[in-house]
Amino acid sequence: MSRETVLEALRRSGGAFLSGEELSRQLGLSRTAVWKAVDALRRAGYDIEARTGLGYRLAAVPDLLTEPEIRSLLGHVDRVGKTLVCLDEVDSTNTYAKSLAAAGAADGTVVVANGQTAGRGRMDRVFLSPKGKGIYLTALLRPDLPPERLMSVTAMAGVAVCQAVEEVCGVQPGLKWPNDPILNGKKLSGILTELSLEAESGRLQYLVVGIGVNVSHAPEDFSPQVRPIATSLVQALGCPVSRCALAAAEIRALDRLYQALETGDTAAYLDHYRRCCVNLGKQVQLISPQGRTQALALDVDEQFGLVVRLEDGTERVVRSGEVSVRGMDGYVD
């Protein structure tokens, strides 16, 4: 606890020096306890400068997804992120969040990890999650809503990721249907939503929204199969991005999403999605177990289904559980 209190005092000083005596007086700690806390913070990666006659100052913080760092940037949230669980490494943040849900974890609990050893995407695809490179985050939600009101959650989460990236990085990702944020024509993020229903009543028990964002990945951090279609913020922007700042922005965006979901006021999300959907107006391939079909992507309906015109002129709406969509010449194009 003394480590956290010393860190907070140094953070509040705004980069100014605080003497060991002043820290001791402010925090009610012995000088030895202050020194031990500073030593522990340094070993955790914090750059704390010490000068004789001046004391200590916080010079730089590590790019680690820890609760103190995320909370220092988070600000007010209504529910999502009130409880925050930060892990160095886990098999899957979705799996961990579901275990917390079964144990009665609070609505809005967020699990964040620096790395995953068994990250998962849609259709049980592997989501590579190298430690220290991305943000792997899952929000546990318990909305008092029927399952049919939750069909749009994953697409809305795609919009939330785009909002967070724009807030922190100043760029607006596109959205490849159904829910993949993209930059420069390549996949930036993966989203996996899972829910649990009560067997007898069909009532929702909980919903987990898992989001992985590629932040500092180099091309070699992706598998040879994924490398041609994936990118990271560092690759796309050519500059470092704070994972803590982006994680905090994601949590705020998910908090807003939750409020919109409960009130039913999701029109702004649909408008954003339609503006950013890179498939609209383009020829796409509909990929299903029966094969591939060419179609023209026309619109996104109010449930975030993709409206397409087939080669015979007929129109239909496809849902994410039915087909995958790719461009004619690759992931997007």
- Select from 100, 113, 12 the least CA-distant residue to 57: 12
- 307 three-class SS: strand
Q: What distance in Å separates the CA atoms of residue 266 and residue 284, rounded to the nearest whole number?
A: 27
The DSSP bridge pattern shows strands 84-87 and 110-113 to be: parallel
The CA R_g of the chain, rounded to the nearest whole Å, is 22
Q: What is the pLDDT of residue 129?
A: 83
Q: Give the model's confidence band at 140: pLDDT under 50 very low, under 70 low, under 90 confident, else very high.
A: very high
- Average pLDDT estimate for 11-33: 91
Q: What is the pLDDT of residue 14?
A: 87
Q: Is residue 210's pLDDT more than 90?
A: yes
In order of 164, 288, 309, the CA distances from 250 in angstroms are 5, 32, 35
Better-scored residue on pLDDT, 208 or 4: 208
Report the amino acid identity of residue 22: E
Average pLDDT value for the chain: 92
**Is the Cβ–Cβ distance between 208 and 138 less than 8 Å?**
yes
Q: What is the pLDDT of residue 327?
A: 82
Q: What is the pLDDT of residue 198?
A: 84
Report the amino acid identity of residue 76: H
Q: What is the pLDDT of residue 201?
A: 80
Which strands make up the sheet holding 315-318, listed edge to edge? 315-318, 306-310, 291-300, 283-288, 324-327
- Average pLDDT estimate for 68-89: 95
- Select from 93, 98, 324 the least CA-distant residue to 195: 98
- Among the residues of the chain, which ranges form H helices? 2-12, 20-27, 31-43, 67-74, 93-102, 153-169, 233-237, 243-263, 267-276
Side-chain half-sphere of 230: how many Cα atoms within 13 Å?
23
Better-scored residue on pLDDT, 124 or 196: 196
CA angle 218–221–223, rounded 5-degree value = 130
- Average pLDDT estimate for 234-249: 96
Q: What is the pLDDT of residue 121?
A: 67
CA angle 185–187–188, rounded 5-degree value = 115
Q: Is residue 103's pLDDT more than 80?
A: yes
- Average pLDDT estimate for 13-29: 91
> 159: alpha, beta or left, given left = phi > 0 and alpha = psi -120 to 50?
alpha
Helix (H) / strand (E) element for 181: namely strand 180-183
Both tokens assigned to 288 = 């299903």
Q: Which residues contact 308 (CB under 8 A, 6 or more apart)?
A: 284, 286, 295, 296, 297, 298, 315, 316, 317, 318
Q: Give all domains of the chain, ordered by start, each with its CATH number.
A: 2-60 (1.10.10.10), 67-276 (3.30.930.10), 283-327 (2.30.30.100)
- Average pLDDT estimate for 48-68: 91
Q: Is residue 61's pLDDT more than 60?
A: yes
Both tokens assigned to 115 = 């790395």
Give percent above pLDDT 70 in the chain.
Answer: 98
Strand partners for 193: 209
- Average pLDDT estimate for 211-219: 95
